[in-house]
Amino acid sequence: MEQRHTHFGFKDVAWEEKQDLVRGVFTRVASRYDLMNDVMSFGMHRLWKNSFVGRVRANTHSRFLDVAGGTGDIAERLQARFHAPVTVCDINAAMLSEGRDRLFDKGRGAGCTYVCGNAESLPFPDASADVYTIAFGIRNVTDIQQALHEAYRVLAPGGQFLCLEFSPSVSPALKPVYDAYSFHLLPRFGEWIARDRDSYQYLAESIRKFPAPMVFARMMETAGFSRIKATALSGGICYIHEGWRL
């Protein structure tokens, strides 16, 4: 039987190896992940996440599931806006622990449930969430299409899917500067601040391997989503992808 392969950044790896490789990346950078987010985005990630959560259509009775949400950034914003419990799911125990501790330090962790789980096989029943969010996480999943099918499965009819992700479709005017920053400065920041150059080299490469917005929209459609929309932020550096289970 021919072995399946996928990408880990620009490297070709065996399909079954990627999950452990990605887990290693985020385990190594977990303690400095929030600081690196501020440095590598010049604080812009906070505005992107605010815009992302601003797209959520829900109320205090809605059931929120934030996948790949180990940092707690999205859960914190959802709680602040809707005053409702949030289930945070992340495959990486170190990231989940860091995010939980950070929220409790702010006095905001009590409204969250923390679950270690895989986006490709979520440990939740069918139709158990009204809102599914995933921010800067889906590009690290081995089987993105399967993760989208799982998102559709756990959403109740009328549920909203929202994904915030970096994109390879950056504005042509920004691309030269953005590429130079991603491949030259970002790994250096990773080395200086997180003491891990290779992990941030991978993150830069993984963005270029993520599907373009129109391709990702077709993948969402294949998973069953309707009313699909993609909104560019900061010249296409990242996009908000939205869909509904109708």
pLDDT tens, 13-71? 888 888 887 777 777 776 677 767 787 788 899 999 999 999 999 999 999 999 999 88
Instruction: Give the E-state strand segments of 94-237 in sequence order.
Output: 112-116, 129-135, 155-166, 226-233
What pLDDT sits at residue 2?
Answer: 61
What pLDDT sits at residue 236?
Answer: 96
Q: How far is it, in rounded angstroms, from Cα 47 to Cα 54?
A: 10
Task: Identify the domain containing residue 12 by its residue range.
Answer: 5-245
Most confident of 12-16, 79-83, 84-88, 227-231: 227-231
What pLDDT sits at residue 142?
Answer: 94
What pLDDT sits at residue 231?
Answer: 98
Query: How many domains, the chain?
Result: 1
The DSSP symbol for 46 reads H
Average pLDDT over residues 183-198: 83
**CA dist list (Å): 60 to 15, 57, 82, 86:** 40, 11, 5, 11
**pLDDT at position 1 over 60:** no
Asked if residue 123 lies in contact with residue 117, where contact means CB atoms within 8 angstroms, the answer is yes
What six digits make up the tokens of 80? 């602040």
Asked if residue 142 lies in contact with residue 120, where contact means CB atoms within 8 angstroms, the answer is yes
Q: Which residues contact 246 (CB under 8 A, 6 or more apart)?
A: 157, 158, 226, 227
As a whole number of angstroms, the longest Cα–Cα distance in the chain is 53
pLDDT tens, 122-172? 999 999 999 999 999 999 999 999 999 999 999 999 999 999 999 999 999
The one-letter amino acid at 99: G
Query: Residue 232 — very low, low, confident or very high, per pLDDT cuts 50/70/90?
Result: very high
pLDDT tens, 85-103? 999 999 999 889 888 888 8
Residue 192 sits in a domain of what CATH number?
Answer: 3.40.50.150
Query: Residue 109 — very low, low, confident or very high, per pLDDT cuts 50/70/90?
Result: confident
Query: Residue 246 — very low, low, confident or very high, per pLDDT cuts 50/70/90?
Result: very high
Q: Let me know how many helices (H) and strands (E) the chain has, helices first.
A: 10, 9
Query: Residue 184 — very low, low, confident or very high, per pLDDT cuts 50/70/90?
Result: confident
